[in-house]
Structure formats: C-alpha cells, structure tokens
C-alpha cells in the first residue's frame, strides 16, 4: 500500500499518518516518489484496506500494491489447477465443450439434445432446472423434476451434468444431482452461496458478475477456495456496457488476463453474451482461438419453441459445424 | 410487442411469423410502419418475451411496447405508496434522513452516533450487523451481537433501525430486530431472497444493483410485491461506469425517472456512490434538491478508526451542517 | 511513477529495469512495499509515461504517482480562476445561468427566447449556429446567418453569446461573433481545435467528452492553457453508460472532484444529459445544490416545433420557476 | 417511427399528436398494440427524428423502426464493398494484415520494421506521422518528415501505407502520401473531417469512437459516403467500459453485427484495445477466428525503446508466429 501525500505537506501531517499506520500494526516508511512524499506500508501479512487511510488529512491517494487475493493467485500456485469431470479435464490444455439447452423443458427434449451434442463432441451436458429470471412471471424452471431428467440423461449418455444452483436452500438438492455446480452471474457476490459452494466437493462453475472487475471475480473464487473447495472453473459471459447490438459485451481479453493472474481454468459462454445465434457462432470460434479452456454453448432442437433464450440457441447442425471449426482452431492454437 | 420484419420480405415468411405468434395464444396484426412491414402482437394479458420471436427467419428486431412490470407501475397505482416507519413517512412529500455508521462496531459506538444523528434530525438509524465484503478476509460484521446492539439503540433513542440482510438463512433473525430490512446491491437479483422479503411484513429497502437498468430494478421490486409485501423503498446508490474519480457514478436522473414510472418511494445513498466524504456532502445536497424521498448517509464518530468505509463517513458536525442545508433545500423544492 | 515488480524477482531483472529508467534520464530507487520490490522513479520534471516501463520483463504494474497535468491543477494555482463575461463571473462563488435554444432557427425566435430568459435572470444567451449532428441528413444549423442573428440578440439585450465552434476552418468566424466559444463533447479531444482555442483570447466552454475520464478532460483543458488561453470553463454534460432512462448519465460527482483537482470553473448542462424535460428541471436544481459555478439550460418558446432537441427544452414558464428555485438553493449552498 | 401513448389516453390528446405528425408532412395511423394505443408514422422517405414527438403530452415512448442510415446499409447494397489497396483486397473474403509501429520514429526504424512485417506476410504498412496524444507534453509525431519516411518505405518495399490524419488543415498533405487514410477514434464524430474524407478518392480507415454505438459509427461512415467516397474500412479498436485489466474492452461481437447491417469491410485493431502485448496476440488470433476482414497490429523492433505504445507492440518474431496462426485459422473459418 502506498499512501501518496499532497504536495508541500507539513511534517506534522506526515507524522499523523505514520501514527495512524502504526496504530493498525503496520510499519510505515516515507518515500520521495516524483515531486511529493509518499508513505509505504510494509510488513503486512494480509492485504490492507485502502479505505483506512484515504480521507485522512493530507492524503491525496492510496494505491494498493499487493493484490488482495491469495489462494486463486498465480503467485500462490504456479501450475494450472486441473479439474477432471467425466472424460473432460479443465486446465490441461484441452478445449472442453459444455452444451445443452438453456432450460430443461422435458425428458424427451433433453435426451434428444444430449445425444446430438455428444455425437458432435461435447463432453459435458448443461441444462437449467432452477432458472433465475428477471421477471417473476417468466418460466422459472422445472426444479427437482428437471434435475431428475438431467440424471436420466447422464445415465443414458454418460455425460456429466452442469446445472445452476440459485440459493443455499436448494444447494443440497442440486449438489446431489450435478457434476458441475454453476453459480450464475447475479449470484457472483452472493457470499453465503459462495461459502456453501466452498464446502462442497463438486467442481463449481463461477460465472463472472455482470459488471465485475477481474479482481472482484477472483475474490469471489477466493471465497470458495478459502472454504476448502479448490475446484473452481471461471466462466466469462459478457459484461454490461453501453453497447446495444449484443445483449452483453463479451470481454475476451479477460481470458489472457485471468491466465496471467490465476491458475484456475477459464471458459467462455458466448450464448448469454451475444443473445443472438449468428454472433454466438463467431464468438465461439474466437474463444477457441483465444486459448480458453473451453466454452459453454446453448443448443436446442427447436429454438423457435424454447421456453427461454431461443434466439441464442444453436440448431444442432450449426453446433456440429461449430464444433469442427473450434476443434481445428484449437489444434492450431493450443492453450497453456 | 412489435415484430419488425426485414425489408422486401416474402408473404410466406410473414405468414410463418403470424403462425408462430398465434401458436403461443396471441393475436397478430400486420402493420406497415415506415418502409417495411411490422407485426403487432395484441390481446396479451401478460408481457411477452421478445426472445420468443427474435431470431425467427425474416425478423429484424423485436420491440417491446408494454412494460413488463405491473404492481410497481404508476399505471397500475396512480397514488404514491406511503411507508410509515417510526416518525418517518416515505413517499408523503417529506424528506427522510437515515443515518449511522457503515458497520456496528460496539454498543458504545452506535449509541453515541445514534444520539448525535437523532439530535441533528435523522429519523431512522442505520448500521450493518451482517456485512457483504468483496474479500473473505475483511471484517464481516458482528452478526447477531450487532443486531442486539441495534435493538438497544432503538430502546434508548426510539429511532427505528435499518439493517441489511444477506441471505435467507439469517432472514428470520434480521427480521426480528430490524424496522427496515435492507437488501444490498449485490443481492438485487437474488430472487430467493427477494421472495422471502416479499413474505415479510416489514418495509424493505431495495438498493439498486451495480449495473441494473431501471427496468430490472423495478422487476426486482415486483418480485417482492408479487409475494404480498407492498412496502418497498427503492435506494439509488451509484452504478458502475468507466469513471474513476468516485467509487460509483451516482445516477441522480433515476430519481425523476422512478417517480414517473412507479408509485414507490425512492431515496439516495450518496455515501456508497461517492466513497469519499467531500463528494458525499455535495451529493446529499443534490439529492434533496432533486425531490428524492430521503437519503441514507454514513456518519461515524471516528471515521479514521472505522472498521469499514471510514473515508466516506461524515464527522458528526459535518452531518449537522448537511442536515440543515438539506432541510432548507427541501423546503424550497418539496417533492410530490 | 512506481514500477511494481513481480514476486521473487531476480536481482538481475531488477537491475535491467533500473538501467532502463536511468537510460531515459531519471533516477531510480528500489523500495520494498508490501511483500515485493518496487522501483520509484525520482527527479522527473515532467510526468513520465507508464507505457515506457510496462511490459518490460518482471514488471507487474506501473503506477503513476504524479498527475500528468500542470497548468490546470489546483496544486499549480491555489485560487479559483475567475472568468468575466458580460455581467457574469464564473468561479467567484456566483451561480451563472446560460440559457437559450439548442439551435438558432430564426431571428424572431431567438430574440423572443432571449428576452424571456433574460427577464428570468439568465446572464448569458446560448444558441447553436453550427450544429454537430449524428446524421448527415439532420438539420446542421444556419451557419453564419445564425451568428448574425446571435449578434443582434446581443445588441438588443446586452446578453453575451455562447455558441459552438465545430472546426478550425470556421473558428475565426465564430470567434468574431461569440463571447464564449463552446467546444462540444465530440471534439473534446480534437487536439487541433483545442490548440486553436488556446490561441484565442475569448473564454472557452469545454464540454466533457462522452466517455472522458476526469484526467483526460483536464488534459484537454491543459492543451488550451498550454497555448496561452487561461479562460477555460469546464462543462459536465453526462457520460455514456449502460443506462437507458436518460440520454446520458449526468455525473454530478465530477463537480466536487474538479473543484478539488483544478482551479477552473465548472458548470453543468442538464439538458443534454437528460434528454427529457422533467429530468432537466430536477437535475438543474441538483446542480445548484452541488456547488457548481452555473448551469447551461435549453429553453425554447415552442419546444414541440423545435428543429432539434425539442423534448429536452424547457418552456419559458418552466424556466422562470426553475430559476427561482436555483437561486434560492444557491443562496443556501453557495460555492467556493 | 412508432409513437407509443400512455394508457387510458383521451381521444383529444391522440388527435393532437396526429396533428403534430401531419404538420411535419407525414401520415399518421393509430394502431392498438398490446394494451394501449400507438401511432405509426408512414410515408416518410427519410428517417424521422424521435425527438420531434417525444415530450409531447401523452407520449410515453417513441420507437424508431427504420434505421437512420442508408448508403452504408446492407439493405441498400447487398454485396460486400471491395476495397483494393496494393496487393490487398478488403471485403473479398481474404484476411488482410496491416502492421507497423505506432509512430514513425526514424527512417531506419520503419524500414527495418517494414521489411520484417512484409516477410511475415503483412500487406499494408502502418505508422503514425501525426499522433493524437492525451497530453500536450507527449511526443506528437514527426509530421511531414514522418510522411516522407513512409513514402520511402513504400518505394523500397512496395507496401501501401496507412497513416492517420488529425485535421482538415493537414488533410491534403496526408492524402498526398497515404494509401489508406486513417481517422482515429477521437475524431470519429469530427464531422468536418469526415466530410473532407468524403471528398477524397483514397480509402478511409474509420476507427470506432471510444464509446460509439454501432449506429453512430455507421452514421459516421454515412457522412463519408454521402460526400461520394465509398471506400470506407471500419476498424474496431475497443470501447471504454468499467474494465481495468485491459486498456479498452475489445468488442468482438461488433464484427458479425457490422457484417449483418452493412456491406463495408471491417477489421480489428487488437493493439490499442489491449494495451499489453500478451493480450494483443490472443485477440489477434480471435479476430481471425471471428471472420473479420483483417487486423491492424503494432510491431516494433525495440518495443522497450519505443516513443509511444511500446508495451502493446509485438516483437518481430512474435509477429511472425502470430501471422502463421492467423493464416491457419483464417483457412478454417474464411469470412463472407
């Protein structure tokens, strides 16, 4: 932490800041940087909160130097975390495709889709049984019945299941059925839910919050890891911006940024970012080219009749073609 | 809902869209608007999801005409909702000030602050017992002990208490102690929590999500109202933008926008928006001038020693001055 | 400038950075901040570009400590810059209201509006002769004819004129007629235009760019001041965000932030921010409460027939009421 | 244009709106859409401004149905515009790579870089002679001397030259030397400059403004085309968001969105978006996978000594590898 003082500050004010720092148990050291005095805070084991010193008399700015996260950091663990689910491994340089409909609608529907995505090369099946919806009047998912259908898909196809959990109350239930537990964008900072996920031994797919910084996202993963669950897969799904030609703005540069900062695997969800089919396909190709550890794509056998997110769901044959291209691109690029 | 077709579309494609609309139980009517054909969807009781028709062949755009919310809308209820808590009434044209520290730190601390804000004219006391924190290593609040301290403040001063609830698990506990139950920005779309709040008979202070549109925010209030709790107070607290000179960008234009769309009262929290004391005071004055139903302001007796959010907390004497100015401004402006 | 190194960096790599710093003529000093080594750059007269050192081997981050602006900074000049135009003074604690239509449409129109806003207390008349329009097919302003009309208004009413300049080619012309030369949001980083404005002796009203940071905005003012023109009035007019209930998001917290960083006066344009009448009035009141040095407001005698920006223009009687309230609020708040 | 009325509106108010529409020369037709009345505006040849009707009594919303652009639209011209420069063709399905340093620093420098990027397969050389810089104290480019150096590069290598023009005053000069005239992000809505470019017969590379919507960007291109120059190449370079791990947020979904809306070619500049080398490479690969018509990449022989944008410039050998991968990816994807 670097406490930058205003110019021409009195010695007395500097002493007051030093006292405030030492009162909290840290060591202070004055440093002339540029044309003003700054005070470095040393010997802090944990990260310090900038807010403790910002707003004190004579302080112009407080600049964090140490990152606030530990367990998720590449500096803490150099090697990639590998997460094995069924035949898939996230983080080992392979490109894992998770596919399936937005919501589980019927047993027949998901079995049909599951078989077709499996044939095309998907390694994990996705489908929502509990659906977070902006409107209380929209279809909210089949709930437990949906989970039972998903279990049947797993039994018939052997594909592991990724499905979303919406709250602590239904966590045990979802945990029982899911192979990968998804935490959605609106819950990225639902800290009670994160802690519960941290006490699970199932892998957690943590979607980025709608306007989360990289640091906040990694801190959310830190909540899970701090409780003991090290199997966290990050998932970029677009952030909210002024842009209107896509539902969200897919922030692909976060993929190399995460890879640099963290050892956790990261995949991309182009479906929710784009909100419209044509863009989804292009962005899926781009995700493969980018060196992500995988993608999660919505596929529906009859998108025009889907109960949710129809226009962003690929037709099965579009998915087949996209899979081939992603595979070919991944062979060129790899990921480390 | 208006389904806008591409130019020079065939009659056959138009028929296919009409069929799709009627299959879902609505009435379709073709309309020549501008230089192309559009199809209006009529006789829908509930709002229709745009996604059902977007992505169909020949469709250029789908434009919602009806707003998706009902109960929260000014069109549903013309008169302002009035919410009475202690001596305060939200929505009746008065300007209610909620004040107190970010977090409850000790009994002595909050009693001292409560007396001073009460003397200055605050009508509700705030203080966090359960604190949502970006880092799992930051101070998380005193929990139940904090609630007990808050109850003592109410007993000694008569001030009603506003405090945050973080999850369904601790809802009963918080509900027992609080006079106003706050739902924080990160939980604005925690739908399970909203539903639980909808089953309470205590007023709910619903903060706007960090990047929530007006519509999403009102839909979150709709979740609460749809369960039967009509006492929802909206609270603007700044949104996330590219701006770096304040922690969040306080979106004051949302106050007149909410007043136009909804009958619910709306207050402003300038403390979390600004993140720094000087701005908080200016923005509090501005909130009074804007015709908001009140403000929520952080005040601390020793900001430099606060366990959280020190730099944005006012000193008690700053709060006294700010109260006087807000009162005088409100006398000029009023709010309807 | 603080160059933060990665953890466990070798002594050799640190030496390489030091060499790179010294090669550019600066002094380097290693500093242990937190749990890693950083290198401070000292004795730099001008600000240093972070990009020179970012991307060198072993460098984790480069943190600017010194602000890049000089002439515009409060550290360079403690006292407020005062800018006198007609009867108005920007920066002396008064609250100056600039009012008039978006575009000059006819002589009769602007004379009528000018008289009514003058009666209500406006001190400067605004009106666009050259209009920047998103579409080449929209009304582009009356050009020179508009300027001549504006000069007649000045002659008849004595009000000084603020009008926009769009390019260097028409600068001489606009300069001849205008008392305040406005540079619009889309030209905030038109550096050739800024330099030309810096060679004028007329006051310049510099609108904030649509997504400009405080620092970029002040740097744009620095371009003008660096050429010798010290009469720069800053004007906040809303920034672009995800928000859709107003045309732009008025960032009122920038007013106290500018006042802290700079000695230049700052006014607010609520008309372009809001885009809709009701919000404009509320935001104008808020601007007065905030301690801004003034506002610029669009007023039209027949908004429903305006050639541009009708819905955001106040009716003359709305303006009268708003003026009274702003005046009363300013009497309470003042500004320093 | 669809004028949506408030609920339960009186017949009289509806008539007033109809009169206002007809007064402007359009045809009005009332339409019952959803649970309220709307008024469609027909028989308009040009696009209508929403602002004319927004704000009239009883109007809830005004919804544009027709797009405001003509010449740039795919509905106006179905086939891709092809732009031939040297050996490169933009828009014919090939993937054109423009490469070179941010700024021209010396003859020797650019010749060395030009030869190396040419060997790697770049078809156009880029280099800035006039540099728009946030600070007036930063290196502003070599000006005419830089252009002369660029001409020498063309002579020696045969590569066409892309370089930026900053204002109308130096347009003739830049036009004389450049094969592709670049208009930078800060000038995207410098309408005088756009009109001047519209009178050139050289291809124009139009960068997207820092916070431009797709529509504003296409309207800027419309300004150029409306003057007669049909050779416009669009260039995505990242938009401004709350994100801090990259300099700007590269909005790759704009590529398929442009291809759908417009016949103009679109390339991607990952260098300015990312601001840091590692991300640039990944995003360049992604751009190839996305079906863009090309990329523009900064390459420098000694990035650590570059006068500007060093950390985002690739080393020549990195560029060679990136070229190979982009080429291989393009072979898989193609672009239509």
Signed CA dihedral, D174, D175, D176, D178: sign only: positive
Q: What are A208-219's pLDDT values in tens digits?
A: 999 999 999 999
Q: Identify which has the larger pLDDT, D54 or C192.
A: C192
DSSP string, D99-168: EE-SB---HHHHHHHHHHHHHHT-SEEE-BSS---SSTTS----THHHHHHHHHHHHHH---EEEEE--S
What average pLDDT does range D67-86 have in this prediction?
Answer: 91
Q: Which two tokens stand for residue D35?
A: 């649970």
Signed CA dihedral, C308, C312, C316, C322: sign only: negative
What average pLDDT does range D114-137 have in this prediction?
Answer: 95
Contacts of A216 in chain B (CB under 8 A): 134
SS3 D18: helix
- pLDDT value for A295: 98
Spatial CA neighbour of C49 closest among C264, C246, C213, C219: C219
List b or e across C223-253, with b for residues whose CB sees 16 or more CB atoms inside 10 angstroms: bbbbeebbbbbbbbbbbbbbbebbbbbbbbb
What average pLDDT does range A43-49 have in this prediction?
Answer: 63
C-alpha torsion A313→A318→A322→A325, nearest 10: -170
Question: For residue C59, what pLDDT band results from cuts at 50, 70 and 90?
Answer: confident
Question: For residue A17, what pLDDT band results from cuts at 50, 70 and 90?
Answer: confident
Q: Cα A297 vs. chain centroid, distance in angstroms?
A: 15
Question: For residue D156, what pLDDT band results from cuts at 50, 70 and 90?
Answer: very high
Distance from CA of D105 to the nearest CA of B (A): 32
Phi and psi of B308, rounded to 5°?
-155, 150
Contacts of A247 in chain B (CB under 8 A): none
Spatial CA neighbour of C64 closest among C19, C2, C135: C2
Q: Which residue has the tokens 């501008």?
A: B34
Mean pLDDT for chain C overall? 91
C-alpha C245/C-alpha B256 separation (Å) is 10
CATH of domain C2-63: 3.30.70.1140
What average pLDDT does range C319-327 have in this prediction?
Answer: 97
Smallest Cβ distance to B55: which of A49, A192, A276?
A276
Residue D237 in this model has a pLDDT that exceeds 70: yes
Smallest Cβ distance to A328: which of D211, D249, D332?
D332
For β-strands D232-236 and B294-298, DSSP reports them as: unpaired
Residue D59 in this model has a pLDDT that exceeds 70: yes
C-alpha D274/C-alpha D287 separation (Å) is 13
Question: For residue A45, what pLDDT band results from cuts at 50, 70 and 90?
Answer: low
Contacts of B241 in chain C (CB under 8 A): 239, 241, 249, 251
C-alpha D185/C-alpha D322 separation (Å) is 25
With an 8 Å Cβ cutoff, the interface of chain B facing chain C consists of 211, 213-214, 239, 241-246, 249-257, 260, 273-274, 278-279, 282-283, 285-291, 325, 328-329, 332-333
Contact D51, D11 (CB under 8 A): no
Question: For residue C15, what pLDDT band results from cuts at 50, 70 and 90?
Answer: confident
Contact A200, A216 (CB under 8 A): no
- pLDDT value for A274: 84
Provide, rounded to the nearest whole percent, the portion of chain B with pLDDT above 90: 69
Q: Mean pLDDT lowest for which of B61-65, C99-103, D155-159?
A: B61-65
Spatial CA neighbour of A329 closest among A293, A299, A285, A297: A285
C-alpha D20/C-alpha D41 separation (Å) is 11
What average pLDDT does range C141-149 have in this prediction?
Answer: 96
Q: Mark residue A329 as left, alpha or beta (left: phi above 0; alpha: psi -120 to 50; beta: remaining).
A: alpha
Q: What are B205-242's pLDDT values in tens digits?
A: 999 999 999 999 999 999 999 999 999 999 999 999 99
Q: Mean pLDDT lowest for which of A65-69, B144-148, C131-135, D227-231?
A: A65-69
CATH of B83-333, one of 3.10.310.30, 3.20.20.70, 1.10.3210.10, 1.20.1070.10: 3.20.20.70
User: Residue B322 half-sphere exposure, CB side, CA atoms within 13 Å?
Assistant: 32
- pLDDT value for B35: 65
Q: Cα B166 vs. chain centroid, distance in angstroms?
A: 15
Spatial CA neighbour of C232 closest among C69, C77, C83, C68: C83
SS3 B189: coil
Question: For residue A146, what pLDDT band results from cuts at 50, 70 and 90?
Answer: very high
- pLDDT value for D21: 83
- pLDDT value for B21: 83
Residue A167 in this model has a pLDDT that exceeds 80: yes
Contacts of A234 in chain D (CB under 8 A): none
Q: Mean pLDDT lowest for which of A293-307, B259-273, C283-297, D280-294?
A: A293-307
- pLDDT value for B47: 62
| Every domain of chain A and the residues it spans | 2-63, 83-333
Q: Which residues pair with C234 in a beta bridge?
A: C206, C266
C-alpha A77/C-alpha A65 separation (Å) is 19
Residue A262 in this model has a pLDDT that exceeds 70: yes
Question: For residue B45, what pLDDT band results from cuts at 50, 70 and 90?
Answer: low
Provide, rounded to the nearest whole percent, the portion of chain A with pLDDT above 90: 69
Smallest Cβ distance to D33: which of B65, B241, B242?
B65
Residue C335 in this model has a pLDDT that exceeds 90: no
Partners of chain D (3+ Cβ pairs below 8 A): A, B, C
Mean pLDDT for chain D overall? 91
Q: Identify which has the larger pLDDT, D311 or C315.
A: C315
Q: Identify which has the larger pLDDT, B321 or A1.
A: B321
Smallest Cβ distance to A242: which of C29, C31, C240?
C240
- pLDDT value for D44: 61
Mean pLDDT for chain B overall? 91
Partners of chain B (3+ Cβ pairs below 8 A): A, C, D
C-alpha C47/C-alpha C56 separation (Å) is 19
C-alpha D233/C-alpha D251 separation (Å) is 17
Q: Which residue has the tokens 């006087």?
A: B324
Question: For residue D66, what pLDDT band results from cuts at 50, 70 and 90?
Answer: low
- pLDDT value for C46: 60
- pLDDT value for A46: 60
Question: For residue C57, what pLDDT band results from cuts at 50, 70 and 90?
Answer: confident
Question: For residue A43, what pLDDT band results from cuts at 50, 70 and 90?
Answer: low
Contacts of D1 in chain B (CB under 8 A): 33-34
Whole-model pTM? 0.91
Contacts of D240 in chain B (CB under 8 A): 242
Q: Which two tokens stand for residue B163?
A: 């405090």
What average pLDDT does range C226-252 have in this prediction?
Answer: 96
What are the residues whose beta carbons fall under 8 Å from the beta carbon of A97, sequence distance 6 or more? A117, A121, A122, A123, A124, A294, A295, A296, A297, A323, A326
With an 8 Å Cβ cutoff, the interface of chain B facing chain D consists of 1-2, 4, 6-7, 29, 31-36, 38, 40-42, 44, 63, 65-66, 75, 240-242
Signed CA dihedral, B30, B33, B38, B44: sign only: negative
Contact C290 B286 (CB under 8 A): yes
Contacts of D52 in chain C (CB under 8 A): 304, 310
Using CA atoms, how far residue C254 sits from B275, B279, C99, C260, C287, in Å, is: 13, 9, 22, 10, 11
Residue B39 in this model has a pLDDT that exceeds 70: yes
Q: Which two tokens stand for residue C305?
A: 């027939």
Q: What is the CA radius of gyration of chain D?
A: 23
């Amino acid at each position: 932490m670097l406490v930058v003082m205003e110019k021409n500050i009195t010695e007395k004010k500097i002493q007051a800041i030093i006292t405030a720092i030492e009162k909290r148990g840290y060591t202070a050291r004055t440093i002339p940087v540029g044309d003003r005095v700054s005070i470095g805070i040393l010997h802090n084991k944990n990260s310090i909160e900038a807010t403790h010193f910002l707003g004190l008399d004579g302080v112009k700015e407080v600049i964090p130097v140490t990152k606030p996260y530990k367990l998720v950091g590449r500096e803490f663990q150099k090697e990639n975390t590998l997460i094995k689910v069924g035949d898939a491994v996230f983080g080992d340089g392979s490109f894992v495709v998770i596919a399936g409909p937005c919501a589980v609608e019927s047993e027949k529907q998901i079995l049909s889709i599951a078989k077709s995505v499996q044939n095309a090369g998907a390694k994990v099946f996705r489908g929502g049984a509990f659906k977070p919806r902006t409107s209380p009047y929209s279809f909210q998912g089949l709930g437990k019945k949906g989970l039972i259908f998903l279990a049947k898909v797993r039994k018939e196809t052997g594909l592991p299941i990724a499905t979303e959990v919406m709250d602590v109350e239904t966590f045990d239930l979802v945990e029982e059925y899911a192979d990968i537990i998804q935490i959605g964008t609106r819950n990225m900072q639902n800290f009670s839910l994160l802690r519960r996920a941290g006490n699970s031994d199932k892998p957690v797919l943590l979607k980025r919050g709608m306007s989360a910084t990289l640091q906040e996202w990694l801190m959310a993963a830190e909540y899970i890891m701090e409780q003991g669950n090290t199997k966290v897969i990050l998932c970029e799904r677009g952030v909210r911006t002024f842009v209107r030609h896509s539902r969200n703005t897919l922030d692909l540069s976060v993929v190399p940024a995460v890879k640099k900062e963290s050892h956790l695997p990261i995949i991309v969800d182009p479906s929710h970012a784009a909100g419209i089919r044509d863009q989804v396909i292009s962005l899926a190709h781009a995700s493969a080219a980018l060196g992500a550890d995988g993608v999660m794509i919505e596929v529906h056998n009859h998108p025009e009749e889907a109960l949710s997110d129809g226009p962003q769901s690929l037709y099965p044959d579009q998915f087949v073609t996209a899979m081939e291209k992603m595979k070919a691109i991944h062979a060129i690029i790899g990921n480390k």
